[in-house]
Amino acid sequence: MNDDKEKYNLKEQIFYEIENQINKMDSKAGMLISALGIVFALATDLFSIYSIEQFNDFSVSFKAFCFVVTGLYCLSFVFSMFMFISAILPRTNKKQKKQNNEDFHVNYYYDLSNKLRLASKNKNINISELFNKAIESEINDGQTNLENQIFTNADICRKKHDKIVMGIVGLIPFVISMIGLIVLMILGYNL
């Protein structure tokens, strides 16, 4: 019996650690969104290359290069922002519930919210009775439910991590094109 309690405590510790990692991923993505937005706003002066009087006199290849660098800059900004924002947005995880053959999970906010809405619309559903059944199921099958939550949270954490990494990789062309725009702006004023 004591061994089961230790296993459960260890699983609970793993659950909270993964939840902590999810929160850290959200914080990282939020900071990256802020930093990227600030850099983009400050760097909009780089588009002044197009307002130089001599821009129309530049060669076609120089103009094309300006447009390519600007396009890369904007596309990489949009891609990175999309990845960072999608890392933060909460999503329902119906796939994981289907794999675990769960209809309702007491620890899942979305399920609780849906049942409450159903109960408010349909007076035949007793929400406290439904909740008590779910709690009893959790007590009887706590190990399995906790394991399912661990796997669900691990999956969420992995997806958030992957999106943040893709967003950071998207920053590489952003930085390169920003440097390119700076060089083009310097060259444009000197030509």
pLDDT tens digit string along 149-178? 788 888 889 999 999 999 999 999 999 998
Nearest to 83 by CA among 43, 28, 18, 44: 28
Distance between CA atoms of 71 and 180, rounded to whole angstroms? 12
Structure confidence at residue 52 (pLDDT): 74
Helix (H, G, I), strand (E, B) or coil at 171: helix
Record the pTM: 0.73
d(CA 45, CA 175): 15
Query: Which DSSP letter does residue 43 get?
Result: G
The contacts found for 60-63 with CB under 8 angstroms, 24 or more apart, are: none
- Which of residues 112 and 30 earns the better pLDDT score? 30
